[in-house]
């Protein structure tokens, strides 16, 4: 169970780092740039902890899928980036994939 908590923490760090990446304006602003470094360092640290318990393929699929959904939300909420119907449908498919992995994959269980 700790693995999934660490995975969620890794995704939170990654979402923070990616949001800071947008705010850094190509690394021209100091504090958001430091946020990128902090966010991705934390993300990879916790991602490595998850790999102690879960296989790489499942872990990466969940990490990237959850991260994409949260980063799309961050772009909309923080930066006013719009999502069209095709983008929303794609995000829905990502969420569906995450649900399928967690409900039906024996690989995701340890």
Tens digits of residue pLDDT in 38-81: 999 999 999 999 999 999 998 999 999 999 999 999 999 999 99
Question: How does DSSP classify residue 106?
Answer: S
Check residues 101 and 109 and name the one with the higher pLDDT.
Answer: 101
pLDDT of residue 65: 95
Q: What pLDDT digit, counting tens, does each position of 67-79 carry?
A: 999 999 999 999 9
pLDDT band at 26 (very low <50, low <70, confident <90, very high): very high
Identify the domain containing residue 11 by its residue range.
Answer: 2-108
Which of 13-27, 31-45, 94-108 has the least mean pLDDT? 94-108
Which of 51, 22, 47, 45 minimizes the C-alpha distance to 35?
22
Vertex 99, ends 88 and 62: CA angle to 5°?
A: 85
Task: Report the domain count for the chain.
Answer: 1
- Those residues whose C-beta lies under 8 Å from the C-beta of residue 39, and which sit 6 or more positions away, are 13, 14, 15, 16, 17, 18, 19, 20
Question: Do 62 and 10 meet the contact criterion of CB atoms below 8 Å apart?
Answer: no
pLDDT of residue 109: 66
């Amino acid at each position: 169970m700790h693995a999934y908590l660490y995975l969620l923490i890794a995704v939170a760090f990654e979402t923070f780092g990616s949001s800071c990446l947008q705010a850094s304006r190509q690394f021209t602003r100091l504090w958001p740039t430091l946020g990128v470094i902090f966010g991705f360092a934390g993300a990879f640290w916790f991602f490595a902890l998850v790999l102690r318990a879960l296989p790489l393929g499942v872990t990466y699929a969940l990490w990237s899928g959850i991260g994409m959904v949260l980063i799309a939300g961050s772009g909309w909420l923080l930066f006013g980036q719009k999502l069209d119907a095709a983008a929303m449908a794609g995000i829905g498919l990502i969420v569906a994939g995450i649900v399928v992995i967690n409900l039906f994959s024996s690989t995701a269980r340890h």
